[in-house]
Amino acid sequence: MSKRPATLIVLDRNKRESLQTQLAVSLKELVQARVLAPGAAVPSSRDLAGDLRISRNTVIQAYDRLIGEGYLEPSARRGLFVSESLTEKILSRTGLSNASTTVSRFVFQQNSEKLGMPVPFRPCQPDVRLFPLALWNRMRTRALRSYGTHLLHYQSELTLGFPSLRRTLATYLRESRGVQCDWHQVAITTGSQQALYLLAHLLLRPESRVAMEDPGYLGARFAWQRTGARLIPVSIDAEGMRLPPDKRFSAELVYTTPSRQFPTGACLSLSRRLSLVEFAARTNAWIIEDDYDSEFRYSRPPLPSLQSLDSSGRVIYIGSMSKVLFPSLRIGYVVLPASLVQEFTALRSVLDDHGPLIDQATLAQFIDAGAFYSHIRRSRRAYGERLQTFIESASKLLLPLSFPYIDGGMNLTGFLDSTEDDRECSDRLKSIGIEIPALSQYSLRPTRPGLVFGFTAFEQRTTQESMKRVALAFQGRRKGHRGEPAH
């Protein structure tokens, strides 16, 4: 290519689309037109940013997006290239004129036929397009270079995870969540789900009593049920989980999501936190604190962890990389009271010896290089804007839902009038391609009806358009109720 791509790219700061989106679209067009031919190197982010007079971050994000969509491929040490396989397939099938539609169809088929993607408004989904995949790959290369083939062997002494990751996570949790821990207490698990499963098998026997939030997280409920334990549903109000005040109340284990109750969104108040910790100390119960999305607070920082208030070693703290990074990474962690470390290690080693070490070493590098913190900041900013768009759309469209907990997280629960059937609403929305689970789906006992919306994985325009479809579905329903045609 004789010309530098920058001379063919026009960006307009007055357009609605971000510079990053405009740049990604322009680069795709250059690929489709073979101006950037298969196998060609693309300019470095620094050069292109300089030529276009935009920030280097904008170029890096646009490149990351094109890597994610398969247009570009990183090559260790040599830079970024136009992907050969994808473009050959596309361009051999079509002429230039319809290249663009074929590309989108090809990319869409690639995603939809083999692998699923979240549809609006599936809860608990990060926007993986924000993830800096190229940077992650560089960290992976760096980890492989540092540890060489040692990383490829069995490392049975690393049952609880890669030591540098355990150390760096211990520091992160002490500083950001007030968690009291030494790194030897941090165990890396295959998602927080594995931690729940292992803890269930370590701490429970058939007929053990497990008090859990109701409505509550199904992943946890299924783990307790596997052991034959008895579930004791505990109600939620605006202050979070409300344990029965009766002093004779007992449970071997209490499961809670205090930062942001899943799925309602209520935050456990300080007085309830103190009484929960006091209950555990008095009765020798275990508390499992699942802190699954506390990184996402938009207006004020979250309360420190429940574990930080515990002086009896009865609180087990669980976290996950599924929301802050991406869910298929399958990395979670648990901070164990010192008294449980040995038994947990023994159980984990029977299950799978140890987890995948290349990803753990990569993650340690990613955190130590500061990329973890910048990604959290970038995601928090994007999700904060999406939360605003969501709330504005819901109120403009006069949806018959109330959203009492709108201060953070990745999901918003909209409560319906108590006469409504939330499963019927959810099914109706599903029939038009919108996925919003009913609150009752998470409940053991009858609960106030509601719908659980996830807002983080969807761009603002998608949210606005999908909310209009939700509103139309509600309008159709109301007309149907009054005996009028529902269309």
Ligand X SMILES: Cc1ncc(COP(=O)(O)O)c(C=O)c1O
Q: Which residues, 97 to 156, sit near ligand X by CB under 6 A?
A: 124
Alpha helices in 244-356 (DSSP H): 270-283, 341-352
Closer CB to ligand X, 86 or 318, in the complex: 318
**Longest pairwise C-alpha distance within the chain:** 81
Say which amino acid occupies 296.
F
**Minimum gap (Å) between residue 150 Cβ and ligand X:** 27
How many residues bind ligand X (CB under 6 A)? The answer is 14
CB of 206 to ligand X, least distance (A): 25
Dihedral class, residue 288 (left if φ above 0, else alpha if ψ from -120 to 50, else beta): beta
By CB under 6 A, is residue 327 in contact with ligand X?
yes
Q: Which residues contact 466 (CB under 8 A, 6 or more apart)?
A: 120, 121, 434, 458
Can you say whether the dihedral through the CA atoms of 371, 372, 373, 375 is positive or negative?
positive
Please pick, from the candidates 120, 240, 332, 355, the single residue that binds ligand X as defined by CB under 6 A: 332
Q: Which of residues 207-226 bind ligand X (CB under 6 A)?
A: 217, 219
Residue pair 439/452 in contact by the 8 Å Cβ criterion: yes
Least CB distance from residue 14 to ligand X, whole Å? Answer: 39
Find the shortest distance in angstroms from Cβ 198 to ligand X.
12
Residues 273-302 that bind ligand X (CB under 6 A): 290, 292
Residue closer to ligand X, measured from CB, 197 or 415: 197
Q: Per CB under 6 A, which region of 89-97, 171-179, 186-194, 247-255 contacts ligand X? A: 186-194
Q: Which is nearer to ligand X, 69 or 213 (CB)?
A: 213
Pull the structure tokens for residue 36.
């950037």
**In the chain, what is the straight-line distance between the N-terminal and C-terminal CA atoms, in Å?**
54
Query: How many Cβ atoms sit within 10 Å of the Cβ of residue 446?
Result: 7
**8 A C-beta contact, residue 345 and residue 159:** yes
442 forms part of the interface with ligand X (CB under 6 A): no
> Shortest gap between Cβ of 263 and ligand X (angstroms)?
8
Q: Which pair of structure tokens corresponds to residue 316?
A: 């087990």
Residue 265 structure tokens: 């969104």
Q: DSSP states of 267-316 as a string?
A: PPPHHHHHHHHHHHHHHT-EEEEE-TTTT-BSSSPPPPPGGGG-SSS-EE
**From the CB of 292, what's the least distance to ligand X, in Å?**
4
Binding segment for ligand X (CB under 6 A), chosen from 44-52, 187-195, 309-317, 421-429, is 187-195
Stretch that binds ligand X, among 74-82, 98-106, 189-197, 384-392 (CB under 6 A): 189-197
- Residues in contact with ligand X by CB under 6 A are 124, 191-193, 217, 219, 257, 262, 290, 292, 320, 322, 327, 332
